[in-house]
A and B are shown apart, each in its own frame.
Chain A
Amino acid sequence: MPRLIIDEREIEVPPGTKVIDAAERLGILIPRFCYHEGLGAVGACRMCAVQFVEGPVKGLQMSCMVDAQDGMVVSTSHEEAVEFRRFIIECLMLNHPHDCPVCDEGGQCLLQDETVSGGHGLRRYQGKKRTYRDQYLGELIAHEMNRCIHCYRCSRFYQEFSGYRDLGPLQIANRVFYGRFKDGPLESPFSGNLVDICPTGVYTDKPSRYKARRWDLQRTPSVCIHCSLGCNTVANARYREVVRVEARFSGEVNGHFICDRGRFGFPYTNLPGRPRTARTAGGECSQGEAVAAAAEKLREISSTFGPQAVACFGSSRNSLETQCMLKRICRLQGWQVPGFFVDPALERRVRAAVSLLDASAGVSMREVERADCVVAAGVDPVNEAPMLALAMRQAFRRGAEILVADPRPIFLPFPFIHVPVSMERMDSFLEGLARLAGESSDGTGVREADLLSQIVQNGGLASSDLPLPVSFCRALFGSQNPVVLCGTECVRESTLPAAAALARDLRKGRDRAGLLYVLPGANAFGAGLLNSQGHPGFSRLLESVESGSVRALIVTESDPLNDFCHRDRLLGTLGKLDLLVVMDFLDSETARMAHVFLPTTTHFESGSCFVNHEGRLQYAEAVHHGGIPIEQAGGGSHPPRVYRGDIPGEGPKAAWVILAELGRTLGIPDRDLLGLGPWSLIGEEIPSLKRLEGTVFPPEGIRILSDGDPVQWVQGPEARDGEDDRGAVPPGDFFEILLTHWTFGTEELSSRSGPLQKVEKEPYGMMHSDDARVLGFSEGDRIVLSLEGGQIRFRLSVADRMGRGVLVLPRHRKLAWRNIPEMPCFVPRDRIRREDS
């Protein structure tokens, strides 16, 4: 480990550390523009010059370009270095428009900081400044090129790091311009990071433009809840509304960046239509009155029909506290075991995934970046968990081979091998790969051709569907650190153990082979952990309501009407209930049907725990107290000077607090509810987390995976009874419908974001061009799909690189996908026709 002296202080750093980072470890922030830890060094801006006084390198050098070495003596305040940096910042400022008062970057601007640190106070250049014409870059990012200092961070992030190809450096020398070929929205779903990495105000966050200075904002470490990855963010609030979300560095989860769904998806918390007052049949009332009304009715139902006539339902966007409290109340009251997913098959898959992960297999996104070979099965990263695609791209940049087995048309921002295996054959495809890996580990050599033909046969593939498979198999054998990624949204339940088995087989003869499941929702892992054995499944729950054995339903931060396929049936069933209690922060359809409605806070308003896909328990701190945003209260102007008796934000409470109050009203002693405190509550409900009680919460969260036998850790779903065996393709000529997520427009919370609604695509269905040809369809045709529940109309898009016999539809609100009776869904070809015929 090299030891060096920087500004008369000694430090030892790992080999390969740049001097600029070594200094940062000592708390010395050497001025810089082009250098960014996430992007690496290029030595373009010359701002980080320091003097090397003694050692293997001598003289004035760029500290971002020199590796720390033994014996170095470095001075950041040497006369020569200070003078050099003063000239550099003076040059960089020649053309800067000095428009800080109207620039959103002002107050959080590296250029301001370095101008001051460089000592450039007096302008000597009197010439004309260079000016540019700005471009329209879409609804998320504003462009102001005159502020640019040509550090290349934006194009390096956009092209090199994230792999998108529509923004880059144009022109030459003093005229260098960063932009697109033509005006138009940026194609990358990671474009918001330009705001964070630009050292000045060239790229600013458009939705929050002119809203606040950094120092006026309430800022707090938060966690993104728009998918299961749990990226770390900084939430910014002002005047009782969340103004903007920024990326927060996390060494293990998201690195320096986040996706645009996470950055621009928050406005659901500020919406004017957000319900903030409790409601009963008699109209608006106080929170306490609503709790009392609900408790009275619950007591009545419980005593007449027994406690089993009360059921509870949560979701994967619940905080862990809420999920635990829900389970606790149900147990203490003898109500039905709570469920968290409207799709029983999905619930089983989540439980399977959680039970199959253990500390030796589960990997973080950072570990995916370091993988040298990646197999992804039934997962569409850009659409389901965008940042995973960036992690995979970093693996690709380090030389990893990447294969995606999925019948959907998959786009990733790097070259990869796409094998369009059907969901039904996915397991045998993975088993084939596992066998290949096994053959290689016992040293008998691989009969590639044999095994390959086997895979092709098992996967139900035409050999033309397998581009470059041999090279991939070789890469998989030769890999030291392979990772298996597996989705849960669209795959069969049996694919989850098949992916785990592949990871296990790969681990033989290797140090490590990782396994990562992409889960449906920010806290789907928590829902799986609560091991809802005994929960009958949502469909059975509906049957019980229909038969009258369940009379009351408590829905906690969940919108079954949004998620459930068979919409008409659900509407009818919910109408039969004697009591529907809904707690939510969304103005959801389910909430509008409630007999008793209780408004809850978002995770921006009350701190909450979420467990991400790899079992990392992370705490999102509250950023503000909530309340009606001042902009809304004052209609965009100063708030009215009218006396009000309420305290801003007093109405809604955290769902778990409301649940506890409900429990207390029903007679549960407080020491068993709120008196426990969140940690004890979690520990009581999830025994394996008891050991965490009293733990100081580290910034990177707590990885709660067990080292031991995964089966003892949490129980997977019980074996299927024969009648429940769904997922086998019926004989005959059928299309399997795959309901999928899109980056924008399908996720429950972010699809309520105004800025993202402007970005999302109009929904369309996709099928293989061969299938379309047989049916006589072509690109752009309007198609009608007739199902028992009703019709689904959509525009068709055809693709060559996808599986045959599948029809891919997004869960988009503008598409009537809820007419699908249940998943998985197979439709005969004659049910699909062109609209005009």
Chain B
Amino acid sequence: MLSDALKETLRGKIAQGEHPREHAVDVMLEIQKRCGYMSDEAMEEAATLLGMSPLELEELATFYDHIYREPVGKYVIRVCDSAVCWMHGHLSVVDHLTSLLGIGMGETTPDGLFTVLPVCCLGYCDRAPAMMINQRIFGQLTPEKIDRVIRRLREEASFDEAE
């Protein structure tokens, strides 16, 4: 399932550490970057590379929010649900986003573009309410701003596809 080239890269990464398992999370993030998420097969192959049992790797994978064990959209939208965001209208952000995308919290749009997940906390409290899309953060959210962001991402995605 993992390509030989990817396995070679990962072996190189693992060899840098004193103990192979030091790089467990890095290896999973690397695979995720290429494959989108950690499938069962990817888990088993990564565990073999790391000298861990699949269960041991699964313990880490399911502990961390940023490792996906199911397919996620091209854009993972994480809406902050900390107390400060909540005071600043987190619930209406969630309402707007989910009705705009037509999916519930934790779901992925049928076109495979967006996944909405909760997160706590983005540390962006001074600009609450906030959300993060892949590695980019957005604060002081309003319905209009959310509409704008989503529209831009849709355009970006169709541009990527066309090219």
Contacts and interface: CB of A to CB of B under 8 A. Distances in A.
A and B together in one complex: yes
Interface of A: 165-172, 177, 180-182
Contacts, number: 30
B59 interface: yes
B54 interface: yes
Interface in B36-63: 40, 43-44, 52-56, 58-59, 62-63
Contacts of B55: 165-168, 170, 180-181
A193 B53 CA distance: 21
Q: Which 8 A-B pairs have the closest CB atoms?
A: A165-B53, A181-B54, A181-B55, A170-B62, A171-B62, A181-B58, A172-B63, A166-B55
Contacts of A167: 55
A165 B56 contact: yes
A172 B61 CA distance: 10
Nearest to B56: A165
Interface string B62-102: 11000000000000000000000000000000000000000
A181 B53 contact: yes
Contacts of A172: 62-63
A88 to B, nearest CB: 24
Contacts of B63: 170-172
A166 B52 CA distance: 10
Given A172-B62, A180-B55, A181-B54, 11 more contacts: A166-B53, A166-B55, A168-B56, A168-B59, A170-B58, A170-B63, A171-B63, A172-B63, A181-B43, A181-B44, A182-B54
15 contacts: A165-B52, A165-B53, A166-B53, A166-B55, A167-B55, A168-B56, A170-B58, A171-B62, A171-B63, A172-B63, A180-B55, A181-B43, A181-B53, A181-B58, A182-B54
Interface on chain B toward A: helix, strand, loop, or mixed SS? helix
Nearest to A180: B55
Interface residues of B, number: 12
Contacts of A169: 59
A826 B19 CA distance: 43
Q: Chain A's interface: helix, strand, loop or mixed, by majority?
A: loop
A141 to B, nearest CB: 15
A182 B40 contact: yes
A165 B44 CA distance: 14
Interface of B: 40, 43-44, 52-56, 58-59, 62-63
A168 B62 CA distance: 12
Most A CB atoms within 10 A — which of B44, B56, B58? B58
Nearest to A173: B63
Nearest to B64: A172
Point out which of B43, B55, B63 has the most chain A C-beta atoms below 10 A from its C-beta.
B55
A167 to B, nearest CB: 7
A819 to B, nearest CB: 39
A168 B54 CA distance: 11
A167 B52 CA distance: 13
A177 B52 CA distance: 19
Among A168, A169, A171, A181, the most chain B Cβ lie within 10 Å of the Cβ of: A181
Nearest to B54: A181
Contacts of B54: 181-182
B162 to A, nearest CB: 40
Contacts of A181: 43-44, 53-55, 58
Contacts of B53: 165-166, 181
B114 to A, nearest CB: 23
Nearest to B60: A170
Contacts of A168: 55-56, 59
Contacts of B44: 181
B63 to A, nearest CB: 5
B52 to A, nearest CB: 8
A170 B56 contact: no
Contacts of A180: 55
Nearest to B61: A170
A170 B59 contact: yes
A93 to B, nearest CB: 25
A181 B53 CA distance: 9
A191 to B, nearest CB: 14
A37 B54 CA distance: 30
A243 to B, nearest CB: 31
A127 to B, nearest CB: 17
A180 B55 CA distance: 6
A463 B122 CA distance: 57
A311 B58 CA distance: 61
A187 to B, nearest CB: 9
A182 B40 CA distance: 9
Nearest to B52: A165
Contacts of A171: 62-63
A483 B162 CA distance: 72
Contacts of B52: 165
A180 B43 CA distance: 13
Contacts of A182: 40, 54
A181 B43 CA distance: 9
A165 B52 CA distance: 9
A167 B63 CA distance: 15
A171 B63 CA distance: 5
A513 to B, nearest CB: 33
